[in-house]
Chain A
């Protein structure tokens, strides 16, 4: 009776909370609290606590038939030709991402991390967009402005912000929903951020950068940070998005929307997704499924059973993240070591390009050189250079709709995992105006269709219907809708 226990990180978001995974003989696992973890002192949000119930291993398949991993690898190797498009948003280790980069390079391609904003915004901004600030720095800020809802999107930031408040910080939230820890909840026209927020060099801005983020909005926030001298941190929804960005920084990135558009116009015929489920990540699931159906080859290299594994032509099922040898870089830029020693995923990618087994050491050395460190030490955040950048002209897309269904995001949303979130939130005015009744679902209608869904009265902005679960009638992160009884 001996147990397999892995020291790893939660795959839920770019905070990368430390945890233990206790694997049982039948392949299932329990999570356990790693109280000495520097990132989270062992604390986990609902996603981490429920991970063992939601995370299932994938099965290798070719054309819908279960096969051995080696057969799936062989089939993938044959199917991936020149002209293939590669995606890895950062749900795997740096080593596996770098292995995919080698494979892509061998086919004359790059790996797309899905963050389209990187290719729309000058490269001098990328270091600031990529790596955030140490979480300790949030606690010592004098003023914090939130462009996220930490409770829903990045729950382990809540304690950092509360600690800052204890230290005397004031907190302003600019978002869809009032957050209770904020001293002030505001709706501000982006043109007035600078004057209304009155930030300075003791301030911290916390925002999010995800595949659907409007680059213009990122530019506005970068301008705000530049003008005020405030530190800025863009949280990412994927555990190793920062690590993958650092590895990929010199590549030309396509946004996920561009990739879908190119599949639809026939210029992409083969798509290779490394732990990147576009069906889960992109807001319009129907449109993504339709597009993926047009591919000659959809190859999912995946460590977990997710929606894309059900529709891919080839599924290369790799070991779960906690078992992988490798490193994760979190939103702070902190390198975190995974205690797993398996290189099955890397070896599988290597085999697709005819490389012998054993690429890990070489790839890991590349990573250390990229980070400018000799070894991975979770207690030391590597030094990152963040050059000055020029202010940019920015015109964020105005969400000028009367009533909009808005996705809040959060770990369950981005992973398509089940949670107690089958409801929408709206304010009392909207409930009254639409004559909604307690206990009767609200009808939410868009150009695409209609759903009846439970609702909850919350302090959300006027005209906003907020959801943490994906609804089938949406067309984007913000969808124009009507609400009725």
Chain B
């Protein structure tokens, strides 16, 4: 097994295979990592309802197995739950994986002890929006939902009576539902920065729907997959070229969709930029939730954004935000968490991206994509001889 190899794999345990997505490979791999002592803990989403799950750090393989299955309506970034030094594995959407790498660059995560099991992602939905969408678009009671999946551009809900209800995601998004805005313009769908990238794209033929396409990206990726094979928890077969080509094609199509969304949502500001930002932030209540939830913020309590601002300030735009807009230009991955938790619904991710994207393009630095390039602020300091 080498870096760059691609396989299709599945769980050997029938229960995990049935409950997990695409053959349950990820669940089986994470549980085996705990059972064989490769890691001390796994971060998983503990399911509390059809649209509700809470991140838990667990050393119990049964809890990992119980977390099997994808949940598109639980938009949470798991990297915030990593403890430095703990040997840990986490299932990681691209934003989970990218923020883990950005934290590692800032000394908050020990990348050598962190196994990142990447999951392909086409986007997530806010549970409140999902519930409203079910009511308005699907004419379904959210309490009747028993499962959901995304297939061939459609969002499909299964109701308790076994019926499937599908609507094209494009159609949902035109009506303001579907994926979160930041997911619509996110162009990173395959977590190539993770130790191992898993997903159902490229699984064809008899294995379609029963297996997970796996790409090995690092030595840790080999380790965690081989560990699961040695434990008898998963089986794999080499991926064929046709599958690889289909996976790349799906990724390409998703990136095109994201580029179009980027043009739509991040179109140039018309009129005064100052007015735009002042209006956007006028309802800010200075709660600090955007900083607290940010998975790439590594500053802790003594941060410049909080130290340089106070509720007693009378500036027309808060220094807290101004500092953060600048400070996150080299690290904002557009995960959407700040917008999700903003109590007055300021589209913060959108604003951060307006600052970050031009600078990231200028410096040709896309945060969280690898561990080799330091943040561009850091590069400049080195080049200036500081």
> Which residues in A have some Cβ–Cβ distance to B below 8 Å?
1-3, 5, 7, 20, 32-36, 38, 40-46, 48-50, 151, 155-156, 158-159, 162-163, 180-181, 379, 419-423, 454, 456-458
A42-B341, A44-B343, A158-B285 as given contacts; A36 in contact with B58, CB under 8 Å = no
> Which residues in B have some Cβ–Cβ distance to A below 8 Å?
40-41, 46, 48-49, 51-52, 54-60, 63, 73-76, 86, 126-128, 143, 282-283, 285-289, 292-293, 310-314, 340-345
Contact among A7, A44, A45, A421 for B311, CB-based, below 8 A: A421
- Please tell me if the beta carbons of A33 and B293 are within 8 angstroms of each other in the complex: yes
Q: Could you jot down 22 A-B contacts, CB within 8 Å? A: A1-B40, A1-B59, A2-B59, A2-B60, A5-B46, A32-B54, A33-B340, A35-B52, A35-B76, A35-B340, A36-B48, A36-B128, A46-B286, A155-B285, A155-B287, A156-B343, A158-B344, A162-B283, A420-B312, A421-B311, A423-B312, A456-B312
Look across to chain B and name the residue whose beta carbon is closest to the beta carbon of A181: B283
* Least Cβ–Cβ distance between A179 and chain B, in angstroms: 10
Look across to chain A and name the residue whose beta carbon is closest to the beta carbon of B344: A158
A239 to B311, CA, bound (A): 25
Contact among A1, A163, A457 for B58, CB-based, below 8 A: A1
- Please tell me if the beta carbons of A35 and B286 are within 8 angstroms of each other in the complex: no
Given contacts A35-B74, A155-B344, A158-B344, 10 further A-B contacts (CB under 8 A): A1-B41, A20-B54, A36-B48, A42-B341, A43-B341, A43-B343, A49-B289, A155-B287, A162-B344, A420-B312
* Least Cβ–Cβ distance between B125 and chain A, in angstroms: 10
- Please tell me if the beta carbons of A44 and B56 are within 8 angstroms of each other in the complex: no
A162 to B292, CA, bound (A): 24
Q: Which of B55, B58, B73, B344 has the most CB of A within 10 A?
A: B344
- Please tell me if the beta carbons of B345 and A159 are within 8 angstroms of each other in the complex: yes
Contact among B60, B127, B285, B310 for A36, CB-based, below 8 A: B127
A393 to B125, CA, bound (A): 52
Kindly list chain B residues whose C-beta atoms are within 8 Å of the C-beta of A34.
Answer: 52, 54
A181 to B284, CA, bound (A): 11
Look across to chain A and name the residue whose beta carbon is closest to the beta carbon of B127: A36
Kindly list chain B residues whose C-beta atoms are within 8 Å of the C-beta of A181.
Answer: 283
Contact among B55, B292, B312 for A454, CB-based, below 8 A: B312
- Please tell me if the beta carbons of A36 and B49 are within 8 angstroms of each other in the complex: yes
* Least Cβ–Cβ distance between B330 and chain A, in angstroms: 25
A49-B287, A158-B285 as given contacts; A3 in contact with B58, CB under 8 Å = yes
Kindly list chain B residues whose C-beta atoms are within 8 Å of the C-beta of A458.
Answer: 314
- Please tell me if the beta carbons of A159 and B344 are within 8 angstroms of each other in the complex: yes
* Least Cβ–Cβ distance between B237 and chain A, in angstroms: 34
Kindly list chain B residues whose C-beta atoms are within 8 Å of the C-beta of A45.
Answer: 285, 287, 343
Contact among B41, B128, B311, B343 for A158, CB-based, below 8 A: B343
- Please tell me if the beta carbons of B59 and A180 are within 8 angstroms of each other in the complex: no
Look across to chain B and name the residue whose beta carbon is closest to the beta carbon of A20: B54
A36-B52, A42-B341, A155-B285 as given contacts; A457 in contact with B314, CB under 8 Å = yes
Kindly list chain A residues whose C-beta atoms are within 8 Å of the C-beta of B313.
Answer: 456
A33 to B290, CA, bound (A): 12
A423 to B286, CA, bound (A): 15
A180 to B282, CA, bound (A): 7
A234 to B332, CA, bound (A): 41
Kindly list chain B residues whose C-beta atoms are within 8 Å of the C-beta of A423.
Answer: 311-312
Contact among A7, A44, A422 for B341, CB-based, below 8 A: A44
A395 to B289, CA, bound (A): 42
Look across to chain B and name the residue whose beta carbon is closest to the beta carbon of A421: B311
- Please tell me if the beta carbons of A33 and B48 are within 8 angstroms of each other in the complex: no
Kindly list chain A residues whose C-beta atoms are within 8 Å of the C-beta of B344.
Answer: 155, 158-159, 162
Kindly list chain B residues whose C-beta atoms are within 8 Å of the C-beta of A44.
Answer: 287, 289, 341, 343
Kindly list chain A residues whose C-beta atoms are within 8 Å of the C-beta of B127.
Answer: 35-36, 41
- Please tell me if the beta carbons of B51 and A159 are within 8 angstroms of each other in the complex: no
A1-B59, A32-B54, A35-B126 as given contacts; A158 in contact with B289, CB under 8 Å = no
A35 to B124, CA, bound (A): 13
Kindly list chain B residues whose C-beta atoms are within 8 Å of the C-beta of A420.
Answer: 286, 310-312
Kindly list chain B residues whose C-beta atoms are within 8 Å of the C-beta of A3.
Answer: 56-58
Look across to chain B and name the residue whose beta carbon is closest to the beta carbon of A41: B128
Look across to chain B and name the residue whose beta carbon is closest to the beta carbon of A339: B48
- Please tell me if the beta carbons of A46 and B283 are within 8 angstroms of each other in the complex: no
- Please tell me if the beta carbons of B48 and A180 are within 8 angstroms of each other in the complex: no
* Least Cβ–Cβ distance between A337 and chain B, in angstroms: 12
Contact among A1, A43, A421 for B342, CB-based, below 8 A: A43
Counting from the closest, the 6 A-B pairs by CB-CB distance are: A36-B52, A46-B287, A43-B343, A1-B59, A423-B312, A36-B127
* Least Cβ–Cβ distance between A427 and chain B, in angstroms: 12
Look across to chain B and name the residue whose beta carbon is closest to the beta carbon of A33: B341
A307 to B282, CA, bound (A): 35
* Least Cβ–Cβ distance between A347 and chain B, in angstroms: 27
A363 to B314, CA, bound (A): 50
- Please tell me if the beta carbons of A46 and B285 are within 8 angstroms of each other in the complex: yes
- Please tell me if the beta carbons of A2 and B58 are within 8 angstroms of each other in the complex: yes
A49-B288, A159-B345 as given contacts; A7 in contact with B48, CB under 8 Å = yes
* Least Cβ–Cβ distance between B59 and chain A, in angstroms: 4
A48 to B76, CA, bound (A): 18
A131 to B288, CA, bound (A): 31
Kindly list chain A residues whose C-beta atoms are within 8 Å of the C-beta of B126.
Answer: 35, 41
Look across to chain B and name the residue whose beta carbon is closest to the beta carbon of A46: B287
Kindly list chain A residues whose C-beta atoms are within 8 Å of the C-beta of B75.
Answer: 35
A158 to B283, CA, bound (A): 8
Kindly list chain A residues whose C-beta atoms are within 8 Å of the C-beta of B312.
Answer: 420, 422-423, 454, 456
Kindly list chain A residues whose C-beta atoms are within 8 Å of the C-beta of B310.
Answer: 420
